[in-house]
Amino acid sequence: MDRLATRGFTLVELAIVLVIIGIILGGILKGQEIITNAKVKRLVNDYKGYVAAIYTYQERYGVLPGDDPEATTRFPDCDTRNGDGDGRMDDEDGTDWGRYWTHLRCAGIISGSGNKHPTHPFGGRVYINYNDYNLSGHTICFTNVPGDIAAIIDSSNDDGNPSKGTIQGDGSATTYDPARSYNLCFRL
């Protein structure tokens, strides 16, 4: 029998294949990390953009979006309703709920139409509320933020504690659970 016909891979050939596989896997993992970091930055930038939009509306019209009692007069060509003028974008009885998006869109400050809540890079929706968790006043909240992502955002932009500071995801916890999703709220 011919010795060359039954010969297998050499150790060097196997090593080269393993190195190539390692490089490919490393590139995939690094690519996933880059994508996650971009989503984190986008969520934080979305928050900053919504804050700027709210203050722009308030500066331009003298009232908060969603709470504007003159919205139908101000935007006659836009399908909206007036707010109740109580100084809150979200009332306990829900009368202003989501209307802030409509007012911001009718004013041309943010894109889209209607009162549909925008979504964020991790797939949840964005809403504005009042007195969430241990935060007083208006909050901008992002639903269904993965625990590990919430921890990154809170740690890099606040104190890292889900129940303290200006960013909160829980009213009583002291750490974020990576296996859980959070409604991550930022004080306005």
Q: pLDDT 10s digit of each residue in the chain, 188 long?
A: 555 566 777 888 888 888 888 888 877 878 888 999 999 999 999 999 999 999 999 999 999 999 999 999 999 999 889 988 888 887 555 655 688 999 999 999 999 877 888 999 999 999 999 899 999 999 999 999 999 999 999 999 999 999 999 999 999 999 999 999 999 999 99
Separation CA 91–CA 129 (nearest Å): 8
| DSSP per-residue codes, the chain | --TGGG----HHHHHHHHHHHHHHHHHHHHHHHHHHHHHHHHHHHHHHHHHHHHHHHHHHHSS-TT--TTHHHH-TTS-------SS-SS-TT-TTTTHHHHHHHHTTSSSS-TTPPPB-TTS-BEEEEES-TT--SEEEEEEEEEHHHHHHHHHHHS-S-TTSSSEES-SS-SS--TTSEEEEEEE-
The torsion defined by the Cα of 126, 127, 129 and 134, in degrees rounded to 10, comes to: -20
159 CB neighbour count, 10 Å cutoff:
13
107 CB neighbour count, 10 Å cutoff:
20
Q: Yes or no: say if 182 and 120 are a contact pair by the CB < 8 Å rule.
A: no
- The pLDDT of residue 179 is 96
pTM of the model: 0.84
- The pLDDT of residue 20 is 87
182 CB neighbour count, 10 Å cutoff:
25
Separation CA 147–CA 169 (nearest Å): 9
- The pLDDT of residue 95 is 59
